[in-house]
Structure 1
Amino acid sequence: MENVEGASGQQPARLRQTPSWLITQTATLTHRLVSTALAEVGATRYHYAVLSALDEFGPTSQAELARRCHIDRSDMVAAINDLTAGHFVERRQDPADRRQNLVTLTDTGQGRLEQISDVLDGVQNDLLGSLGKNERDTLAATLRRVLDHQATESSDPS
């Protein structure tokens, strides 16, 4: 795994004790590793998010996919167009509301999701290779708590 902007001993100790700094440095490294790995198989993080959401929740409108995946609507259109061109998803008229389309995962898309998942599993192993399974699970649970807390705080009207 590559170092983030130099050897770890070269940053001030105060920074290395600051969780927000550590999260930012780790996020920068993770983004670079994930983007590189996905590009090697012609995928993007948006592709993975959309395919994952469709796999879990079933046929969904583009607007709902954008909300679920935290993707801007214009970026969602581009992602859906890419995935449609690859026959990974299909747009079909919603029988309950003919004014909107539902996006549906195809069998080819299911295979693509598995391929991308395998690539990302490799990135996770490279990134977190120094952690055991329990440590990885704890890290993921802690990060989810932080995100969930911030989502609750930002939606609280008081």
Structure 2
Amino acid sequence: MNRSEDELGPQLSARLTYLLKRALLELEDLHGEHLAPTGVNVRELAVLLLLDGHGPESQQQAAARLGVDRTSMVGLLDGLEGRGLLARQADAADRRRNVVVLTDAGRVALAEAREASDAAERELLGGLDPSEARQLRTLLGRVGVDRTRR
């Protein structure tokens, strides 16, 4: 999808929307290639990373943190649970509530998928030096902040 400015013209090729979309599509392709051997897709990786970083979460909490609707979250969790990567269990602090936790197999799958995702990101950012890559992440993190918190 490398289109030159000559093909697109300067007005389109310089638009942030176009540049971000192009980078996202490339990263999605790279994730598809790198994650395929792990059996974990990028959406599932997000769930595993969230649970690893936050510990047990309710389905609703996890869905809200990831910005995923509840129906989609149930499907994601069902698939991960069916493969033994996570488990639903009663919350130790409130037995009326269920939480989702990583299993040992989920931790192994997460480690493999994280390595694959890191490789995809390194490939995408290969044209940048390490300080430029850090700066890009920092800047994107700053502009991606919820506008209500600015």
Same structural fold, with TM-score higher than 0.5 when normalized by the shorter chain = yes
1:110 alignment partner AA: R
Among candidates 20, 23, 33, match of residue 23 of structure 1: 20
Decide which structure has greater strand share: 1
CA distance in 2, matches of 1:32, 1:123: 9
Select between 42-51 and 5-14 the one with higher mean Cα deviation: 5-14
> Equivalent residue for 2:129?
132
- TM-score scaled to structure 2, two decimals? 0.89
* Stretches of 4+ aligned residues off by more than 6 angstroms: none
Work out whether 1:146 is the aligned partner of 2:122: no
- TM-score scaled to structure 1, two decimals? 0.85
Work out whether 1:74 is the aligned partner of 2:79: no
* Coordinate RMSD, CA, aligned: 1.9
1:135 alignment partner AA: E
Work out whether 1:62 is the aligned partner of 2:59: yes
**Residue 97 of structure 1: how far off its partner (Å):** 2.9
Asked whether the equivalents of residues 32 and 41 of structure 2 are also in contact (C-alpha less than 8 Å), the reply is: yes
Q: Deviations over 1:94-135 (max 9, x none)?
A: 233333211111121111111001111111121111001100
> Equivalent residue for 2:49?
52
**Residue 9 of structure 1: how far off its partner (Å):** 4.4
Asked whether the equivalents of residues 38 and 109 of structure 2 are also in contact (C-alpha less than 8 Å), the reply is: no
Asked whether the equivalents of residues 40 and 109 of structure 2 are also in contact (C-alpha less than 8 Å), the reply is: no
Equivalent residues, number: 150
Choose between structure 1 and 2 for higher RCO, CA contacts under 8 A separated by at least 6 residues.
2
- Within 5 Å, give how 1:110-125 maps onto structure 2: 110-125=107-122
CA distance in 1, matches of 2:26, 2:78: 29
Q: What fraction of aligned residue pairs are identical, expressed as a percent?
A: 30
**Residue 68 of structure 1: how far off its partner (Å):** 1.1
**Residue 30 of structure 1: how far off its partner (Å):** 1.8
CA distance in 1, matches of 2:134, 2:13: 22
CA distance in 1, matches of 2:60, 2:86: 15
CA distance in 1, matches of 2:141, 2:54: 20
**Residue 46 of structure 1: how far off its partner (Å):** 2.0
SS in structure 2 at match of 1:30: helix
